[in-house]
Structure 1
Amino acid sequence: MIAAYKGRSEVVKHLVRKGADVSLKDDNGNNTLHLACVTGNVETVKCVLSPKVVDINSRGEGSVTPVMEAARWRHREVVEFLVSEGADVSLVDVAGNNILHWACRGGDVETVEFVLSLNKVDMNAKNRSGRTAAGEARAYGHQRVVELLVSRGAQ
């Protein structure tokens, strides 16, 4: 888990070859894939997924999925890879946040544009706090993301 969190793909590859169980969870409920997505090293993410033992849509702390973590931490390349591998972008966490909410918290315009291009998330969906994705972007000070969403019809 630490190697994945630090983005040490060569170490992760070695450990996976030696039989490391990447599906184990930490005290917060996050598995190795969640931690790799926080750091955003796509090679590490590929290594963690290679033994096919981790559910790409696994739920971690707060029911957050790995692709939500990648979006939150501004790792568009990881988001794109996970989607290409079958990550379900329609899922929501326990607080009602979808991947677009998480991408807007992160504030990376390219990640937000990619999520929007998938046409699988209602950009005006509200989380349990009553915030839309644009509301999240505004709350986190990401004005360019707010402008993008408004230009696409967000409320």
Structure 2
Amino acid sequence: MEKVRYLVEEKGCDVTTINKSGLTPLHRAARWRSLEIVKYLVDKGANFKIGIEYGETPFHEAAAGGNVDIVKYLMEKGFNLKATENGSLTSLHKAAYYDNLEVLKYLVEKGANLNRPLSKFISSTQNCKFQQLN
């Protein structure tokens, strides 16, 4: 966290910067499971609703990364649970794909749609995970 604070506050790094892959610092922090950095970046103006090239938001990254506390925090901040990546994948799909059962259960509790058609990129194994929760 010290390094992030130093880069932002001392060196003037922009928290909304987008790298060559289309990712923001918030995407990375969410995926790397750092709630402290996620909160800091959001407080400094990072947009948690911004989607990269295929629509993947920091929320999708948090679901993929498996940190339920980051998922909860971003939902408290107003993230739309129905937002999709590439027009089809939801955060629920990401959590299932990366085997993050705790996040998956939380998203279902919050109203994620278990019956949403799965993308062609999701295998039958992930589909079974959805069926077990249903």
Taking structure 1 as the reference length, the TM-score comes to 0.69
2:63, 2:89 → 1: CA distance? 11
Structural RMSD (CA): 1.2
Conserved? CA contact 1:134–1:146, under 8 Å: yes
How much does 1:52 deviate? Answer: 5.2
Q: TM-score, normalised by structure 2?
A: 0.80
Q: Which amino acid aligns with 1:147?
A: K
Q: Displacement of 1:54 after TM fit?
A: 1.9
Query: Runs (4+) of structure 1 moved beyond 4 Å?
Result: none
Aligned length: 113
- Could you tell me the percent identity over the aligned residues? 29
User: Unpaired runs of 5+ in structure 1?
Assistant: 1-41
Q: Which of 122, 139, 150 does residue 97 from structure 2 map onto? A: 139
SS in structure 2 of the partner of residue 110 of structure 1? helix
Q: 1:105: which partner in 2?
A: 64
Aligned counterpart, 2:43: 84
Partner amino acid, structure 2, of 1:127: E
TM-fit CA distance, 1:154: 0.9
AA matched with 1:116: M
> Which residue of the partner structure matches residue 128 of structure 2?
none
User: What's 1:60 paired with?
Assistant: 19
